[in-house]
Amino acid sequence: MQDQNKNMILAIALSMAVIFGWAILFPPEPTPPAPNTQLEALPQGSLTPPAAGGEGSNTPPVLASDQAGTPAATEVDIETAPRIDIRTPELSGSISLVGGRLDDLHLTEYNVNLGDDSEKVVLLSPTDSDTPYYAVWGWAGTAAGNGGGTPNATTLWTLESGTILTDTSPITLKWDNGAGLIFRRTISVDDQYMFDIEQSVENSTGETVRLAPYGIIARHGEPETTGFYLLHEGVVRASDGEIEELNYSDMPDFPVVPGDGPVEIIDVKENGWIGFTDKYWMTALIPQPGQPFTSVAKYTPGNDTYQTDARLPAMDVAAGQTAVMNTSLFAGAKVVDIIKGYQADRGIDRFIDSIDWGWFYFITKPMQWLLSKVQGIVGNMGFAIIGLTLIVKIALFPLAYKSAVSMAKMKKLQPEMAKLKERFGKDKQALQKETMAFYKKEGVNPAAGCLPILIQIPIFFALYKVLFVAIEMRHAPFIWWIQDLSAPDPSSWLNLFGLLPYDVSWAPQLVSIGLFPVLMGVTMWMQQKLNPAPTEKTQAMILAWMPWVFMFMLGGFASGLVIYWVANNTLTFLQQYFIMLSQGVKPDVFGNIIASFKKKKSE
């Protein structure tokens, strides 16, 4: 039994080391709060347009403030500018005619707080809000040959067609620069989270002009994040098959490029996209598949702005001609089926990888698919977690059985091993040699009991990752008091889990743990009692404290994750119990419990 205890300690130690080691050694940097002061309107040219020196050129462009013929809106104009309403099954908000920017977007299917239908999740906000976050499009031109000016962030557009932007009715904005160029922007949206933007410029100047279209997503101030190392929040982009994730804290340290500031630029040849990802939400600029563009992640120190650009190649627009460029914007919830559908239907390369699947993505993706299927059958995410845990246990049963059989064989050989230790105990080299020869003769592999444990670790992490990032967990009910599987268990042992009429909201989560964390500790403790406590004091102490340390450490985790632990511990207990019976060993669970208490009393 001592070998079984050693393997159990190894499994627990490995799991703890991997789960908590990084968090202890490399804790996430504290996230500064978002600025609460109202920000003034952006001055002309503060949103740097793309390079206009030709396709693939990175030469500094002429800023909008240097261009003639571009009427600027005042700060009052931006705050009181007319807006076009957005109404779709999933979205509500408005588009400002100043800059033609999308800066007011609410996700109507998601509430900020559980049970509060009045306040919806706000994804995008205007510049006069506490957390400005918006998308804007435009054209950049060279100093000579830009036709007298291009629209910028403060250009006042007019509504040419449409009244309200819905999933069945697009709108078209128009701006005439008064010098021979007429710009139009047609915006449409589907019934989910994808906007399509058609930018066009009509040239009646009598000469060829060179212009470059672009799209920008900007965030003022570093946004509040979960700050958990398992999840990426920041810039995410795909560039010709490669996925890159950039943290907000890294952006101010980008190389400084004249005319751009701290910036990281990638020239995308065929397929790509770029944007910002939060735990559950995302915005992303998406050029058409096959369209080359310059992917830009940028930080502006002056107004503390984090920015992503999709800068399209410059276009020569001949006199009397019209140039058109189409791009898309995803702005919404990271629902796997929706994102997967956009990737398939629109050919958006690696769009599904905008979700942070983690190191073990090759396991995490199938796990998510399986969880979704089980949830579709049982109709409850909590029971789906239990069902998925059961399926994983069944799939891994051959490994668990092999491990148990190996440990049973090792136990039967203990008397012979004791004799070898008596004969060669002082000669460590000879003892090792004789031991290996003995194992070979008996057909026993001492590593067989550890290998299944090592194989299960990435599977555990994949399942853990799925439950941590899945938006399906957010505000998902289970049973009774668990109404949000993404939040900690709201019950507390301090008031006997609600039996006493005392408010314990004052208590820290680490102390005021709920019923499911307690069940997790108890089931882990019961699992240990399948075997007698080890005689070695250090091992016995580690095993004795482990369940209760885990109970308090995971007490503040999402209840869905803790429910997984309870289910996993319970199934592991039953599995090991019956495997031991099949090997001729009858576990004395209650005897081991009594023995552990007697041992503590005698000490």
Residues 286 and 435 occupy one common structural domain: no
What is the model's pLDDT at position 398? 84
What is the model's pLDDT at position 451? 64
Residue 45: inside a domain, yes or no? no
Residues 350 and 368 occupy one common structural domain: no
Cα–Cα dist 296/233, whole Å: 17
Residues 397 and 459 occupy one common structural domain: yes
Range of the domain at 448: 2-23+364-602
451-469 and 559-582 helices cross at what angle (nearest 10)? 160
Residue 77, classed as helix, strand or coil, is: helix
Instruction: Return the closest-CA partner of residue 520 out of 589, 573, 567.
Output: 567
Residue 465: inside a domain, yes or no? yes
* Boundary-marking domain end, from 356, 376, 404: 356
Residue 312: inside a domain, yes or no? yes
Q: Where are the alpha helices (DSSP H) in 90-148?
A: none
Residue 592: inside a domain, yes or no? yes
Q: Which CATH number covers residue 147? A: 2.70.98.90
Instruction: Return the closest-CA partner of residue 518 out of 487, 542, 496, 485.
Output: 496
- By mean pLDDT, which of 238-252, 267-281, 322-336, 420-434 is the weakest? 420-434
Q: How is residue 350 annotated by DSSP?
A: T
Residues 202 and 339 occupy one common structural domain: yes
Both tokens assigned to 502: 């005392």
Report pLDDT digits (tens) over 120-167.
999 999 998 999 999 999 998 754 445 568 887 788 999 999 999 999
Cα–Cα dist 494/550, whole Å: 18
pLDDT top residue among 457 and 212: 212
Residue 29: inside a domain, yes or no? no
Cα–Cα dist 348/353, whole Å: 11
Residue 35: inside a domain, yes or no? no
At 19, the pLDDT band (50, 70, 90 cuts) reads very low
Residues 459 and 491 occupy one common structural domain: yes
Report pLDDT digits (tens) over 400-418.
787 777 766 776 777 777 7
Residues with Cβ within 8 Å of residue 590, at least 6 apart in sequence: none
Residues 392 and 348 occupy one common structural domain: no
Residues 395 and 276 occupy one common structural domain: no
Residues 194 and 318 occupy one common structural domain: yes
Residues 85 and 14 occupy one common structural domain: no
The yes-or-no verdict on residue 557 having pLDDT over 90 is no
Measured on CA atoms in the order 565, 568, 571, 573, is the torsion positive or negative? negative
Residues 532 and 596 occupy one common structural domain: yes
Q: Taking residues 307-317, what's their average pLDDT? A: 95
What is the model's pLDDT at position 227? 73
Residues 202 and 342 occupy one common structural domain: yes
Cα–Cα dist 581/574, whole Å: 11
* Boundary-marking domain end, from 331, 356, 381: 356
At 56, the pLDDT band (50, 70, 90 cuts) reads very low
The yes-or-no verdict on residue 566 having pLDDT over 70 is yes
Work out how many domains the chain is built from and give that number: 2
Q: Taking residues 37-59, what's their average pLDDT? A: 33
* Boundary-marking domain end, from 304, 332, 356: 356
Residue 292: inside a domain, yes or no? yes
Cα–Cα dist 498/5, whole Å: 37
Both tokens assigned to 545: 């404290």
Residue 486, classed as helix, strand or coil, is: coil
Residues 370 and 481 occupy one common structural domain: yes
Residue 211: inside a domain, yes or no? yes
